[in-house]
Amino acid sequence: MLAHAETAALRRALEIAADPAVPLGPNPRVGCVLLDAHGAVIAEGHHRGAGTPHAEIDALSRASVSVAGATALVTLEPCAHHGRTGPCADALLEAGVARVVVARRDPNPLATGGVETLRAAGIDVELDVPEDLAAAAGLLNRGWEHGLQHDRPLVTAKTALTLDGRVAAADGSSRWITGEEARSEVHDLRATCDVVLIGAGTARIDQPSLTARRPDGTLLPHQPLRVVMGTGDIPPLPAPAGAGDTLLLRTHDPSAALAELFAHGRRHVLLEGGPTVTGAFLRAGLVDELIVHLAPTLLGAGPPGVGDLGITTISERLDLDLVEVAPRGCDLRLTLRLRTA
């Protein structure tokens, strides 16, 4: 059980861990808050990307009073391994911390063990944190965790569909299928991913800037890498000031594309492709999550949202689990996961 001040401090640790100035990618985002015996904050720290101090070390270095007897609240289990920095579990021990609250165990087999190290040294380690904070700690690094388990980035496919499954009218016009709320949400989604990926067709037809913007048009702090895949002619993407870098992947193979992005340290791909690219990823079983903004409108004709999946009869259907349904203005947002057999 957490004291009230501890719950608040852990919430704060999650907040600072999610600092949009910290690059996403192959390192987890972590926050740490140190509390004295009275529940007052001694120091806060967070990890700022590969090669920089871990959150615990950052917090310890900012403490202007003794940390002896303090409680450390960390969003991820302190590491027990010697990486580019020394083990954080040892650093907490040396500083004299008396209690450590851990929101999430480290799923990285190379780094885990911090909890055991601390407990062996007599430190009070608390793993039972409020459910919402545990969930937030998991979400914070879900691309990174997915990479550890699957050796490829997490893929979230996003599409805006009419009720009759179309992404554009017969003449190709599609602005806009969905309302402002749904469109604004896509920008927030881009800001939580480290890649936004489209196919050459979408690049040619829509010429999207693929930036993450606020409703007023200004850029959000984090901009994803903008990736176009395909082997044909790809026009340059519009490049407004502050937009993410652009990468062309000369392949039609989703698996090859993901392998290359993973090697570049990318961990969460937002797939905003048209029917062909989305269909190719689905057919390859490489979509982990599907977000559909469903507009209560009909077109009766026009390109479908999902291209050929190689399915010819009903028994071959591709079933998903509906995880969440939420209204977004006039539209509905459906979140679905592919069933893993």
Distance, CA of 27 to CA of 135 (rounded, Å): 19
Rule CB under 8 A: choose which of 176, 238, 285, 324 binds a second copy: 176
Is 175 an interacting residue with respect to a second copy (CB under 8 A)? Answer: yes
Cβ contact 227:259 at 8 Å: no
Rule CB under 8 A: choose which of 13, 27, 306, 333 binds a second copy: 306
Contacts of 333 (CB under 8 A, 6+ apart): 182, 185, 291, 292, 293, 294, 324, 325, 326, 327
| Nearer CB in complex with a second copy: 235/327 | 327
Read off φ and ψ for residue 203, nearest 5 degrees: -60, -40
- Contact segment (CB under 8 A) with a second copy among 63-71, 98-106, 120-128, 317-325 equals 317-325
Is 292 an interacting residue with respect to a second copy (CB under 8 A)? Answer: yes
Give the sheet arrangement for strand 31-35, strand by strand: 41-46, 31-35, 71-74, 99-102, 124-126
- Contact segment (CB under 8 A) with a second copy among 62-70, 112-120, 129-137, 275-283 equals 275-283
Question: Which residues partner with 291 through β-bridges?
Answer: 158, 335
- Contact segment (CB under 8 A) with a second copy among 38-46, 138-146, 245-253, 290-298 equals 290-298
Is 50 an interacting residue with respect to a second copy (CB under 8 A)? Answer: no
Q: How far is the CB of 262 from a second copy (least distance, A)?
A: 25
**Residue 104 DSSP class:** S
Residue 181 amino acid letter:
E
Among this protein's residues, is 56 annotated catalytic? Answer: yes
Annotated binding residue 11? no
Q: By three-state DSSP, how is residue 205 classified?
A: helix
Q: What residue has token string 């008396």? A: 98
| Nearer CB in complex with a second copy: 98/318 | 318
Rule CB under 8 A: choose which of 86, 107, 138, 165 binds a second copy: 165
Q: Which residues of 197-230 are buried (b: 16+ CB within 10 A; e: fewer)?
A: bbbbbbbbebeeebbbbeeeeebbebbbbbbbbb
| Nearer CB in complex with a second copy: 230/279 | 279
Annotated binding residue 276? yes
Residue 131, number of CB atoms within 10 A of its CB = 8
Distance, CA of 277 to CA of 288 (rounded, Å): 15
Distance, CA of 241 to CA of 307 (rounded, Å): 34
Rule CB under 8 A: choose which of 117, 162, 202, 211 binds a second copy: 162
From the candidates 6, 44, 56, 145, which is the catalytic residue? 56
Rule CB under 8 A: choose which of 168, 203, 210, 234 binds a second copy: 168
Annotated binding residue 7? no
Annotated binding residue 144? no
Rule CB under 8 A: choose which of 282, 289, 293, 333 binds a second copy: 282
Binding residues for Zn(2+): 54, 79, 88
Binding residues: 54, 79, 88, 160, 174, 176, 190, 202, 206, 210, 213, 231, 272, 274-280
Q: Binding residues for a second copy, per CB under 8 A?
A: 161-166, 168-171, 173-177, 279, 282-283, 292, 294, 296-301, 304-322, 325, 327, 330, 332, 334, 336
Active site residues: 56
